[in-house]
């Protein structure tokens, strides 16, 4: 059974940092590319960051330079380091998994999803 479980969200102030974690099981993690998406209230889920199974990363323009995605294939974990957080970063953050190394930003391109973790940034 495939499982993705996010953790690390919380309530922070503008300018603070957080590290989100996503624990994966039930599939061959080292052969899947992983991504983080987020969904703010009343908005569609949007792409945040992507990392291939061999470690190549890419980001949405809105977070490039502030967020860093990483993975540990030995632990079946993917992380998202969020720095210089702003109120507009407030959202539920989801991790997702897909086969292949293509940079895919559409939610339909991902086979597996976690339940999400809430990040709230106060001004």
Inter-residue contact 107 to 96 (CB < 8 Å)? yes
Percent of the chain predicted with pLDDT > 90: 97
Burial of 52 (0-12, 13-18, 19+ CB in 10 A): middle
pLDDT in tens, 24-69: 999 999 999 999 999 999 999 999 999 999 999 999 999 999 999 9
d(CA 65, CA 80): 12
pLDDT in tens, 79-108: 999 999 999 999 999 999 999 888 899 999
pLDDT of residue 103: 87
| 3 state DSSP class of 32 | strand
pLDDT of residue 115: 97
pLDDT in tens, 5-14: 999 999 999 9
d(CA 37, CA 108): 12
């Amino acid at each position: 059974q495939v499982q993705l479980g996010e953790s690390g969200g919380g309530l922070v102030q503008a300018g603070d940092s957080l590290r989100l974690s996503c624990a994966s099981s039930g599939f061959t993690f080292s052969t899947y590319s992983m991504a983080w998406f987020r969904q703010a209230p009343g908005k569609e889920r949007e792409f945040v960051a992507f990392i291939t199974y061999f470690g190549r990363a890419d980001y949405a323009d809105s977070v490039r330079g502030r967020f860093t995605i990483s993975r540990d294939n030995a632990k079946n974990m993917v992380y998202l380091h969020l720095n210089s957080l702003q109120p507009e970063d407030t959202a539920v953050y989801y991790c997702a998994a897909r086969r292949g190394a293509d940079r895919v930003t559409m939610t339909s391109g991902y086979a597996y999803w976690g339940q999400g973790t809430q990040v709230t940034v106060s001004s």
